[in-house]
Amino acid sequence: MTPETTRPLDALNRAKGKRVIVELKNKKSFVGKLQAFDIHINVVLEEAEEIVDGEVKRKLGVVFIRGDTIIIISPEQK
């Protein structure tokens, strides 16, 4: 069972420090550890990798992603 959520940002809060996938409007995806986010859904990933067609295209270290370019954020599944 998922713990009770009342607001969408609670779900992001629970994902902090975990690896997430972030998909952007320009069809790019980034995978990394969710370090920070704010109400605009600006996010910072660390140990970030850009993914193209399921392959790691490049490693970016820390990356700030502007919220208005984001479609979805989803914790990586084990």
One residue of 29, 31, 51, 63 binding its own copies per CB under 8 A: 63
Binders of its own copies among residues 4 to 33 (CB under 8 A) are 5-12, 15, 24-26, 28, 30
Query: Per residue, what are the HEC states of the chain?
Result: CCCCCCCHHHHHHHHCCCEEEEEECCCCEEEEEEEEECCCCCEEEEEEEEEECCEEEEEEEEEEECHHHEEEEEECCC
44 lies in the binding site for its own copies (CB under 8 A): yes
One residue of 36, 52, 53, 56 binding its own copies per CB under 8 A: 36
Here the tokens at position 57 are 């295209």
68 lies in the binding site for its own copies (CB under 8 A): yes
Residues that bind its own copies (CB under 8 A): 2, 5-12, 15, 24-26, 28, 30, 35-38, 41-44, 46, 48, 59-75, 77
